[in-house]
Amino acid sequence: MKKFFLGLDQGTTGTTAILFDENWNLIARGYREIGQIYPQDGWVEHNAVDIWNSTKAAVREAMAAVGAQPGDIACIGIDHEGESVVMWDKLSGEPIYNTIVWQDRRTARYTDKLAAEHGDLIRERTGLIVDSYFSAPKLHWLMENVPESKSLLAQGRLLAGTMDTWLVWKMTHGKLHITDASTASRTMMLNLRSGDWDQDVLDIMGVDRSILPAICDSAMLFGYTDPMDFCGINAPISGVLVDQQAALFGQTCITPGTVKTTYGTGCFMLMNTGDTPVYSPNGILTTVAWQLKGNRSFALDGGIYISGAATQWLRDGLKIIKSASETEAMALKAGDNGGVYFVPSFTGLAAPYWDSYARGMMIGITAGTTQEHVVRATLESTAYQVSDVLKVMERDSSVPISVMRCDGGATANNFLMQFQADILGIPLNVPEISDTTALGAAYMAAIGIGIFSSPSELAGHWRLARSFEPRMSADQRESLLANWHRAVERAQNWILN
């Protein structure tokens, strides 16, 4: 009987379900888009029930593609969009408010105050800079602004969690309320050294420990799915990771100093730093990579809020493209950026700037500016942002980065990948399986049921598809970057007095 490893990638704009065979070939994929909700400027939400339904639909689609039966699923690994949070009533199973997405900036003023009063303590305990990006300020907002939260807490009925916690709770018919250490490290509430929720930080944030999930290893037998609730499947859930750590694992960056960058809605670079947390004085985050048998591995993390989302804006907002696949040809047709620079800070700037108030800016427009220039500037903006992160990560880790592994949907864009190699001045390697988040979750699940005994066994599974070597002169590179940094400075000082 065939057996499949199921990797579930719950992302910001959609949920992907991928089936891998016993030789780790990608056999089938299912996908469902997730709607975005924008109640106010800087607010971003999802409907948590839609996320649950999209997960089931994506799994059914993948299984139908190859005729897989419920009993064919050997194990399930889950990765998810990270810092987004939801609260729900554990008796009714209904959310009390929409999921507040990681991009959401409604808590910016609160986090400014929090940073001034407790920033050093929170950074030392959690490895994170105080920012509305993370889960804890969102939970604080829910407790303060959704009246039902306090009444349910008083009755012992309130639960909260990131999207892994929500999905596992739904998949097991409410039997499991858990998360893993990599996810917990993204909440701004995990003590990196103890591996538990930090009570001092919880008290500062006004978050009751009782509503939070238990923190577990990233690979273990968590429990089994309920076939009545989850596509008829009664299979072990044995791997849970936050999305970027899943991609790091899927890229088999399992030794210190190895680096991957994922190009998705946002863009995220992680460097494995081994069993020691490395603290950055320049805006790069310290985070848990994964936890196995109680032992934590750590990473440096540089996040960019808007990457693929900017291309989506070209399609849905400006309507100058019909699909992302058009952008490569348009960028090449432009020849160069025509002096146009686009800073896509729709919801502020992340690493290394950490400016919640920066806003998007396109500068350098003339009467000769074309749609092609705008598209090219949009793609180039991702490469510039990645360069900013890499330079700081090299400096703070004291490890020169000589090659970068890349994954995510935008790696299909050869213009972007070549321009990225040119701007970084180092080669980029793209693997055969670009869905490395789902792959990493499935790898972790396989460890959880004993298929692999350690991450080192995975190294031989990584296969190169394409490599991009830098071709740009150093002078041209420095000129482009200097103009980019001038544009960023203007985006940070956009407010009219």
The per-residue pLDDT string of the chain (497 residues; one tens digit each, 9 = 90 and over) reads 679 999 999 998 899 999 999 999 999 999 999 999 999 988 999 999 999 999 999 999 999 999 999 999 999 999 999 999 999 999 999 999 999 999 899 999 999 999 999 999 999 999 898 999 899 999 999 999 999 999 999 999 999 999 999 999 999 999 999 999 999 999 999 999 999 999 999 999 999 999 999 999 999 999 999 999 999 999 999 999 999 999 999 999 998 889 999 898 889 899 998 998 888 888 888 999 999 999 999 999 988 888 888 999 999 999 999 999 999 999 999 999 999 999 999 878 877 888 888 889 999 999 999 999 999 999 999 999 999 999 999 888 888 888 999 998 899 999 999 999 999 999 999 999 888 999 999 999 999 999 998 898 988 888 999 999 999 999 999 999 999 999 999 999 886 54
pLDDT at 497: 43
Contact call for residues 20 and 26 (beta carbons, < 8 A): yes
Q: What per-residue confidence (pLDDT) applies to 332?
A: 97
Residue 298: strand pairing partners: 274, 288
Distance CA 358, CA 121 (A): 26
- 221's enclosing H/E stretch is strand 219-224
CA dihedral 215, 219, 222, 223 (to 10 degrees): 160
Q: What pLDDT was estimated at residue 496? A: 54
**8 pairs with which residues across the strands?**
17, 78
Q: What is the structure's pLDDT at 83?
A: 95
Contacts of 216 (CB under 8 A, 6+ apart): 178, 179, 180, 181, 222, 240, 291
| Architecture of the domain defined by 304-431+464-492 | 2-Layer Sandwich (3.30)
Nearest-10 Cα torsion for 340, 341, 347, 349: -170
Sheet with 14-20, side-by-side order of all strands: 26-33, 14-20, 4-10, 73-80, 236-242, 219-224
N residues, the chain: 497
Q: Does domain 4-250 have CATH number 3.30.70.20?
A: no
Q: Count CB atoms within 10 A of the CB of residue 106.
A: 19
Domains 4-250 and 304-431+464-492 share a fold: yes
Q: What CA–CA distances, in Å, run from 101 to 42, 81, 135, 166?
A: 11, 8, 9, 14
Phi, psi of 133 (to 5 degrees): -55, -35
Phi, psi of 300 (to 5 degrees): -95, 140
Q: Where are the domains of the chain?
A: 4-250, 304-431+464-492
Q: Tokens 């160069």 belong to which residue?
A: 336
